[in-house]
Amino acid sequence: MSELMLVVMIIFVGLVAPLWLLLHYITQWKQTRGLSRDDEKMLADLWESANRMEDRMQALEEILDRDNREWRRREP
C-alpha cells in the first residue's frame, strides 16, 4: 500500500502539479492580457483631459502672443 502511495505521489509531484500550475498561470495571463473596462474608461478620460489642456495652452499662447510677442524669447 505504501509503495502505491509513493508511486502516486511521485506521479502527482512530477507530472500533474507542474502541468496544473502551468495551465493555471496561462489562464491567468490570458485573462489579464487586455485592458479592463475601468482601464479603458480611465485611458479615455486621460486622453480627453490631455486634449483639453492642449487647447488651453494654445489659447494662453495666443493671448501671450497678442500681449507680448517677445515672451517666447525670454530666458527662464
Q: What is the pLDDT of residue 34?
A: 80
Residues with Cβ within 8 Å of 64's Cβ and at least 6 positions away in sequence, in order, are: 71
Task: Report pLDDT for 76.
Answer: 64
Output the pLDDT for position 48: 97
Q: What is the pTM of this model?
A: 0.53
User: Residues 6 or more apart from 71 whose CB is under 8 A from it?
Assistant: 64, 65
Stretches where the chain sits below pLDDT 70 are 75-76
pLDDT at 1: 75
pLDDT at 35: 81
